[in-house]
Each structure stands twice: as C-alpha cells, then as structure tokens.
C-alpha cells in the first residue's frame, strides 16, 4: 500500500470533516482519492497513443438534519477543501429534507479492515508497454496469412489510492492496481472481413496471460468467424460464452439493487424469497478474495463487506443495498453501496465441460459477441444483436452474424438448463457459460 499517499489523503479527509463540523453540519462524509496510470495503443506496429494520467479529487457530503448537500473539487489544498465544504453546506441549507438521508448506521461500519492484497504497482515504462503491445499484435498477425489487418493492441496500468471518512469516527483507505492487455485483429478472405479480440486483466501484472498468448487467441477467434452466415428466424436453445454470460447476471444485480426496488422500476420487484433461477443454481458474494478484481474491505459508506449467499437453490435471499435504499425499503444495508463485490455463480453439479455443454445444447446458437443495449430493466424484455456459432448435434457447424436474440430475462433465468465449468474470473461477476432452453433468434 502507498502509505504516504494514504496518510496525505487521510489528512485531507480529516480536514474536510473538521471543517464541516465547524460550519454546523450534524453529519458529514468525505472521500479523497488519487489515481495515476499509463495507457499505450499500438496499431500495425506503429504507436497510436501514449497517455499518462494523474487525477485527484475530494467529494464532500454534509447533512443538516435530513437536508443534504454535496460538492467536489480536484484541488486538495487546505483552502480548496474549506471552500468545497462551504459550498456543500450552502447547498444543504436550500435542499428539502429527506427522512431517509444520512450516514450508514454505526453498527454496520467496518471495524477490522483486512488486507486483500490489491496493490501491485507495475514498474512499466512507456517503452516496455509499447514493446509488449507490439509483441501481442505481432503474435496474433503471425497466426495466419488471412490476418492482414489489426485494430491494435493496448496495454494499461492503473493505480488508485482512496480514503473514506465520516463523522461517526470512521477513517480508512487502501491502494489498488489494475493492469490489462488486449488485442483486436481483423481476418479477411475475399470480400469477407471479420474482427475479434481477446484480453487479460489482473491486479498483479505477473498474473496476466502472456502477451503472445493474448495476441494468438485474438487471431484464432477472428479466423474462426470467417465465412459467417445469417440465420432464418427461429426458436432454439442459446448458450452464452462466459464473457457474455456475465452481462445476464449484471442485469440481475441491477434488478435486485436498492434503487430499482424502491423506485419500483424492476422486473424482479419484491422477488426476495422467491424462485428466480432453477434449483441447481447458486450465487455467493465473496468480497474478500485476495487480489480479485471486485474485492473490497468496506463499501463506499464505510460499511463492512461480508460473505453472503445471494441465491441458494435458485431462490433469491435478499437485495443489494446501501444504507439509503435500505432505509427506503425498511431493511438494513448489505454493505453494497457502490455495487456488488465478487459475485460467484455456481452450479450444484460443478458445471459442464465445454464438450458436454455443446452436447447438451444439441442444435442451437453459441453466442460469442453481443451488440446494442436492448434491455428493459422494468419489464425484463431482452433483445440484442449477436454473433457466434451455429451448433448441430453438439458440434460447431459454422459461424453466424447479423442476428438478434430476444426473450424476457425473468423467463430466461428460469429456463437456464446448465452452467459451464469454464469460469471467467476477469471481472466482478464470475460465471461459466450459460445455456438457456429456448430463445427467439431473429435473422433473415
């Protein structure tokens, strides 16, 4: 952890809290952060961009009873901190009272703050980043002569240090890193051109997949899409590759989050305690996995994060709440202000291997890319552009593109037939492939 940066940010947050008290606020909270990063893009061996960024910021929220005011600044000097607090207090004096406003309940605050091993700075020079991106792209282009073009390779290294404090006596912070490497290649055969990509992301650069392996995978994926056809409109089983399946569960988390519930704008309204998924499916939140991409010792309000079974035997056990939405619903915070921390989607049978999953699919669609945003969070209606592969008798027959898949998330969730054991850990939601019994596929 960057002890110096953390100590400086604690001083900034403390000053903001002190100043808010001095100006008469009954409660206050402050969030101070500094982040820096290097990003490099290379296309056809030529350097496209080299960006170095350094950001800092302070957000202050004050409460005068149930009236709330917030202000922020990118200047962390003492004078700017005092001025920002002053602005937040001025705003609070004019806002209407909200009976649900206020800090998190004191008993929810994190007392012991575990070290989750999230901080792994990468001593990466721009020269080395360029070299890695070139290596990645070159390895992809070498896979086959039909890979004649590229949309480029990118290397990124980011480090963030944040401190949160409030007038309940909570003051804590930590540093975290995120490093990534990606490549997008274009395959061409005659008039047919197809693109595809691959990427790696990790807290620790040593855990990234090798640059050459990422490039080769991008190349192989682009080649596999050559000769893609359109389908006629039909109903068929649909399997989502793990990196696509994650989105299905992201919509689920959105539907069971506090704001969607209290605004009554969710297709899973009041669904706690009901069967949402088939009995073999479970979901566990595990916020304290070392080095994981969505791990956090406390949420954005300082509430402790903790393990929980969100779905057991297909039944939803509760919602994803911060303190404000919890109060609106007459419930307690679940330590999820700011979102979910490492959601693990699991199958009672451990999930099917790749071959077994395709055999279970039989004849249907395997989705490897989704386009567009056609998802209605209120009704659950789902319609998105897709491409992937048509499967016949459990074997991939040919690539397909320019199709639309449609259904309703509520029935899609209940119609999950199997999960794959091919879990993708490159995000906050970890899931394998997902096989849905039937969806509408709109084509020609």
pLDDT along the chain (444 residues), means of 10: 90 98 97 98 97 98 97 98 98 95 97 96 97 98 96 98 98 98 97 96 98 98 97 97 97 98 97 98 98 97 98 98 97 96 96 96 97 94 98 97 97 98 96 98 91
Tell me, yes or no, whether 244 and 383 share the same domain. yes
Query: Hey, which residues does 33 pair with through a beta bridge?
Result: 57, 162
Q: ∠ CA(250), CA(340), CA(169), 5° rounding?
A: 155
Comparing CA positions, the residue from 201, 34, 199 lying closest to residue 122 is 201
Question: What tokens does 56 get?
Answer: 């800092």
Tell me, yes or no, whether 310 and 353 share the same domain. yes
Indicate the length of the chain as a whole number: 444
CA distance 261 to 310: 16
**Pair type for strands 429-430 and 343-347:** parallel
* Biggest CA pair distance of the chain: 73
CA distance 421 to 398: 23
CA distance 168 to 28: 9
CA distance 438 to 45: 44
* The domain boundary residue, chosen from 177, 192, 224: 224
Decide: 205 and 122 in contact? Cβ < 8 Å: yes
CA-CA distances (angstroms) from residue 115 to 47, 159, 176?
A: 38, 16, 11
* Domain count along the chain: 2
Q: Tell me 286's DSSP state.
A: -
CA 443 vs. chain centroid, Å, equals 30
Token pair 């992809």 is found at 140
Residues 6+ apart with CB under 8 A from 24: 64, 89
Tell me, yes or no, whether 57 and 79 share the same domain. yes
- The answer to the question of residue 229 being in a domain is no
Decide: 432 and 422 in contact? Cβ < 8 Å: yes
Tell me, yes or no, whether 258 and 217 share the same domain. no
Question: What tokens does 383 get?
Answer: 């319609």
Query: Hey, which residues does 173 pair with through a beta bridge?
Result: 163
Tell me, yes or no, whether 157 and 22 share the same domain. yes
The predicted structure's pLDDT at residue 1: 63
Tell me, yes or no, whether 151 and 247 share the same domain. no
Tell me, yes or no, whether 206 and 249 share the same domain. no
Instruction: Report the CATH number that the domain containing residue 117 is assigned in CATH.
Output: 3.30.2290.10
Tell me, yes or no, whether 348 and 404 share the same domain. yes
Residues 6+ apart with CB under 8 A from 317: 272, 273, 308, 309, 310, 311
Tell me, yes or no, whether 106 and 187 share the same domain. yes
Helices (H), 231-353: 242-255, 258-262, 323-328
Tell me, yes or no, whether 170 and 293 share the same domain. no
CA-CA distances (angstroms) from residue 79 to 11, 57, 73, 379?
A: 13, 14, 11, 49
The predicted structure's pLDDT at residue 2: 78
* The domain boundary residue, chosen from 179, 201, 224: 224
Tell me, yes or no, whether 42 and 79 share the same domain. yes
- The answer to the question of residue 412 being in a domain is yes
Tell me, yes or no, whether 269 and 411 share the same domain. yes
CA distance 219 to 214: 9
Q: Where in the sequence is the domain holding 416, given as residue range(s)?
A: 234-442
* The domain boundary residue, chosen from 224, 245, 262: 224
What pTM value is reported for the model?
Answer: 0.95
């Amino acid at each position: 952890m960057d002890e110096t940066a953390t100590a400086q940010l604690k001083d900034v947050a403390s000053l903001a809290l002190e100043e808010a008290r001095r100006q008469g606020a009954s409660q206050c909270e402050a969030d101070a952060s500094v982040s820096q990063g290097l990003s490099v893009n290379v296309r056809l061996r030529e350097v496209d961009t080299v960006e170095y960024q350094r950001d800092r910021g302070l957000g202050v929220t004050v409460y005068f009873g149930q009236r709330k005011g917030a202000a922020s600044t990118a200047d962390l000097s003492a004078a700017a901190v005092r001025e920002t607090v002053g602005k937040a207090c001025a705003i609070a004096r004019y806002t209407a009272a909200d009976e649900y406003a206020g800090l998190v309940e004191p008993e929810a605050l994190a007392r012991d703050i575990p070290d989750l091993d999230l901080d792994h700075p990468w001593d990466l020079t721009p020269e080395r980043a360029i070299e890695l991106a070139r290596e990645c792209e070159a390895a992809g282009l070498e896979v086959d002569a039909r890979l004649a073009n590229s949309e480029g390779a990118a290397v990124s290294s980011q480090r963030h240090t944040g401190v949160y404090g409030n007038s309940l006596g909570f003051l804590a912070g930590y540093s975290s890193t995120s490093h990534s490497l990606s490549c997008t290649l274009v395959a061409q055969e005659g008039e047919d051109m197809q693109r595809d990509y691959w990427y790696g992301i990790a807290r620790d650069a040593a855990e990234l997949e090798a640059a050459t392996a990422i490039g080769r995978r991008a190349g192989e994926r682009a080649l596999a899409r050559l000769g893609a056809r359109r389908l006629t409109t039909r109903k068929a089983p649909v399997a989502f590759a793990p990196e696509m399946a994650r989105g299905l569960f992201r919509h689920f988390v959105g539907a069971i989050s506090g704001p969607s519930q209290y605004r009554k704008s969710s297709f899973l309204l009041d669904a706690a305690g009901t069967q949402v998924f088939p009995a073999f499916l479970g979901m566990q939140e595990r916020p304290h996995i070392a080095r994981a991409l969505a791990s956090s010792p406390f949420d954005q309000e300082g509430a402790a994060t903790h393990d929980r079974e969100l779905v057991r035997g297909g039944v939803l056990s509760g919602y994803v709440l911060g303190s404000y939405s919890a109060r609106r619903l007459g419930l307690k915070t679940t330590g999820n202000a700011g979102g979910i921390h490492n959601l693990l989607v699991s199958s009672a049978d451990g999930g099917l291997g790749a071959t077994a999953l395709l055999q279970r699919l039989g004849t249907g669609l395997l989705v490897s890319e989704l386009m567009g945003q056609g998802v209605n969070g209120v009704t659950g209606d789902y319609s998105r552009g897709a491409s992937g592969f048509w499967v016949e008798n459990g074997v991939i027959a040919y690539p397909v593109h320019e199709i639309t898949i449609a259904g309703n998330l509520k029935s899609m969730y209940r119609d999950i037939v199997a999960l794959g054991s091919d879990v993708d850990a490159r995000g906050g939601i970890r899931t394998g492939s997902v096989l849905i019994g039937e969806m509408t596929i709109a084509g020609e």
